[in-house]
Amino acid sequence: MTPKEYVDINREQIIEDIKYLVSIKSVKDEPTAEAPYGEGIRKAQLAAMDLCKKYGFDVYDANGHIAWAHFGPEDKFICIMAHLDVVPEGDGWDSDPYECIEKDGYLVGRGTGDDKGPFVMGLWAARYLIDNVKPLNYGIRLLLGLDEESGMEDIEFYLDNFTKPVFSFTPDANFPVCNGEKGICNVKMISPDLGAAALMEFSGGLAPNVVPDEVHASVSPDFLEELSELAENNEDIVVLKDKTSKVKAKGISAHAGSPYEGKSAIHLLSSFLLSSDIINKNEREALLLIDKVSGDFSGKSVGIDRECEIFTPLTVNLGLISIKDNKFEVVLDIRYPISVAPEEIEKMLSELACEYGYEIIDISNKPPFYINPESPVIEALTHAFEEVYGEKHEPYVMSGGTYARKMDNAVAFGPGFPNSKKPDWAGDAHMKNEALSIEDTLKATEIYCESLIALQELDF
């Protein structure tokens, strides 16, 4: 049976498996003894393990830190790395984010595209090999990732304790093959004390890797009239004249890997407050850095912009903001090219914080990587994609961060298609109304079947 025939026959079950996993809210939460990343993620993990076991895989649970399904030889194996954790759903959905629905040929729900849908694609591609390709030169291991969105501690745990694959790919990007990823540096900083502040609250953002689309500040009711007048001709700002005494800003959400597609609500609100007379000197000085960083995704306004011949230029996203202990606390997500050393990024950020009186209290730094596009494995995956898709496309590099940066000899590979366009209502990863094309899902699953066949013929 060909991969296309196999996928067509199992179409409805593939869709139902995606709906089933999307129905489980798996956002990182407080850890427990059996659920290091929270009960929701644990529930999704166990559900996925049950699916894999039903389809003929051996399953392994590393006490909730990581899990996998395996078939075939265990000394040398190929790994498909997908993840079951999702970012928070946020507001503004047209339907329940955890009741996966079909609309206009799309599956709609949190995690349909990132990354529960792709997990199911990988599962069915691996199942195709179980049913149709024997014997296998390399085993197939389907990794059930549980912490991709919040630090990738799951992969670190795996690498510290278990056998590494000979090659891995993660279905967490676009086709054809992503053979390089920018470095990702997340830094948490706190401002100097704000003194006798007008701002009682300033908060917003879903995650460091999301351009915030809504933030709010709480002020003394004494300032509401002045702020209302200032906001009269500002369509991005709403002043609520009620007991909440809140000022809200509405932006446009986007992934931090492509921040120019968004509009930062933090920048809109900080600029608005800086144009007023209600804030004191300490607040104004602290807001200056916030306003500059959130308003310029290139980092040029604060002197940390960098470029590269292979990758797109450095980007900065101020994704989270709050006031704690009368100090601003902000979290930045910096995506930097291979032309910049990780140590240089940390030095630039340290100097930036010092210049504005901020203090860095936490930093994580994942270096960039790049694989030669002419290597046999990149060529094999590219060919498998082109055979099914019917068009030639070159490997590419990206700003997003996937599991591929953690494993040796690993890439991101699909399932998004080149030049694919969604309806206006349909959202991408991390956005409201996250949607996955059903037809693209089936075609991507066919590509993964062909790819796994091709990988069996390579010499690792």
pLDDT in tens, 441-455: 999 999 999 999 999
In which band, very low, low, confident or very high, does the pLDDT at 215 lie, cut at 50, 70 and 90? very high
φ/ψ of 311, rounded to 5, equals: -105, 160
Q: How far apart are CA 353 and CA 343, in angstroms?
A: 16
- Dihedral angle sign, alpha carbons of residues 258, 261, 267, 269: negative
What does the block give as tokens for 28?
A: 């990182």
Cβ(444)–Cβ(202) below 8 Å: no
Q: Does residue 243 have a pLDDT over 90?
A: no
Q: Does residue 400 have a pLDDT over 90?
A: no
Q: How far is CA 396 from CA 181, 270, 288, 387, in A?
A: 9, 36, 36, 18
For the segment 307-329, the average pLDDT, to the nearest whole number, is 96
Q: Does residue 74 have a pLDDT over 80?
A: yes
What does the block give as tokens for 140?
A: 């197939």
- Reported as type and span, the H/E element at residue 127 is helix 116-132
Which fold would CATH assign to domain 184-366? Answer: Alpha-Beta Plaits (3.30.70)
Q: What residue segments make up the domains of the chain, in order of their start?
A: 3-181+369-456, 184-366
**Per-residue pLDDT tens over the stretch 139-182:** 999 999 999 998 899 999 999 999 999 999 999 999 999 999 99
Instruction: Outline where 23-55 has alpha helix (H).
Output: 39-54
Q: How far apart are CA 228 and CA 153, in angstroms?
A: 46
CA torsion, points 407, 413, 416, 418, in degrees to nearest 10? 130
Sequence-ordered list of residues with C-beta below 8 angstroms from that of 260, at least 6 positions apart, any chain: 254, 297, 315
Q: Does residue 401 have a pLDDT over 90?
A: no
Q: Does residue 244 have a pLDDT over 80?
A: no
Arch. (CATH architecture) of 3-181+369-456: 3-Layer(aba) Sandwich (3.40)
pTM of the model: 0.81
